[in-house]
Amino acid sequence: MARSSTLELLEQLQTGGLTSLQLTQQCLDRIAARNDQLNAFVQVSSETALESAERIDQKRRKGQPVGLLAGIPLGVKDNLCTASTATTCGSRMLQNYVPPMSAHAVEKIEAADGVILGKLNLDEFAMGSSSETSVFGPVRNPWNTECTAGGSSGGSAAAVAAGLSPLTLGSDTGGSIRQPASYCGVTGLKPTYGRVSRYGLVAYASSLDQIGPLAGDAAGCALLLQTIAGHDSRDSTSLPESCPDWLNLMQQPVAGLRVGIAEEYFAEGLDAEVENAVREAVRVLESAGATVTSVSLPHSRYAVAAYYLIACSEASSNLARYDGIHYGYRAEEFANLTDLYCRSRTEAFGSEVQRRIMLGTYALSAGYYDAYYLRALKVRRRIQQDFEKAFEQVDVIAGPVTPATAFQLGEKLNDPMAMYLSDIYTISTNLAGLPGISIPCGFSGSAMPIGLQLQAAPLQEAVLLRAAHSLQTLTDWHLQTPGGT
């Protein structure tokens, strides 16, 4: 199963070479064998998954039509609500929370006959870059279990890389799909802001959050995006745009594609092995008929500062509801109402979440709003304008996903600035509301995966998938599996 692409699995399901029940059981067996080591899944819904698979097989046997996913198993990041199953966000604050409804993306998966295997580990409330801050413990990278799987969608990336699930859902606020996809050697797509409804996604930073797919290849991402995208009236930011046939469009040749190289992405701090692999991937696209030119993103150097002011300010607002009264964990002992608030939030939020709440609250406070939050919004607009100008000249912008390959667990946990800088190349995509994708493009000397990032103009996921699919027909980096799995 680990060596088969999602489309190959679909073909086997459609031709009768494999049943959904068999495929689901294979995934559950692999989870049982590997998850104790990797800690990717925090909940496994074995019984309901097998029941769903059997129901889909029965539909096939009766000649009834099946949905787009047609019995493919997948895992869901644990900040997406699932009715009747706990949604914890990796936090003590929501450790026993069972939502009354499912996220829009989960509803779409179930309607498309996808089989949900369970919930995947993440940084607490999706605030992190290493999946180490979860109340369930860190996710380990299948390529080297002493290393991070990335964050915050570390469980989603590790599950695909280790063959626990052919597809997974993640969320991306500043790189949280693309960075772990790069670290784990899988393909991860962050769609245009508003392309996928955020209904049922537990909010971190509402103007930046976006749900997206992770898979072994671009085709798997296209299939899952085709399933979950589309307008949803329950989300006021959901775009009223029709969804093209991404699976078909990605087959178009790459000849004529205009690839931009932003030299700001190749400055000091970028590991030489990462730079060489990324530039070689661009040369492969060029050899297939793409044209390569230089573009400039001069305000990208301010992206990290602007992002952490905006994201933390929105986090401070969104997480204010967890007060021990209306939502979430409540301290058992307290002296008065103020003490209840303080104890509940201190006991239930981890240090990284507390840090971001305090930073955001400070930036929004009287006397500092104009100096910090408002100025960050102005920088955000400059970053958007840089991209608008660049996309007048090119179709995609190519660069690294991360400055280096996956780092050791614990290496940056007590150095927030070093941790934040691991997302230096992905953050601007979210600030501008663009789609971006991470594609495997090589390995370091220590046999750790390297990812190529492509960014495109809003609603141009088809261009990203076309470029990614072309690269994957010309290379085999995406076919490599950790430990020969």
Point out the residues that are catalytic: 77, 152, 176
Among candidate residues 249, 200, 232, 176, the one with its CA nearest the CA of residue 461: 249
For 482, the 3-state DSSP assignment is helix
Phi/psi of residue 338, nearest 5 degrees: -65, -40
Give the closest residue to 364 by CA, choosing from 406, 317, 404: 317
CA 237/CA 233 separation, integer angstroms? 9
At 195, list the tokens.
């392309």
- Nearest-Å Rg of the Cα atoms of the chain is 21
What is the β-pairing status of strands 396-400 and 449-456? antiparallel
Q: Tell me how far apart the terminal alpha carbons of the chain are, to the nearest angstrom.
A: 9
Q: Return the amino acid letter for 127.
A: M
Distances (CA, A) of 291 to 196, 256, 283, 323, 343: 31, 7, 10, 54, 58
Do 475 and 225 touch, CB atoms closer than 8 A? no
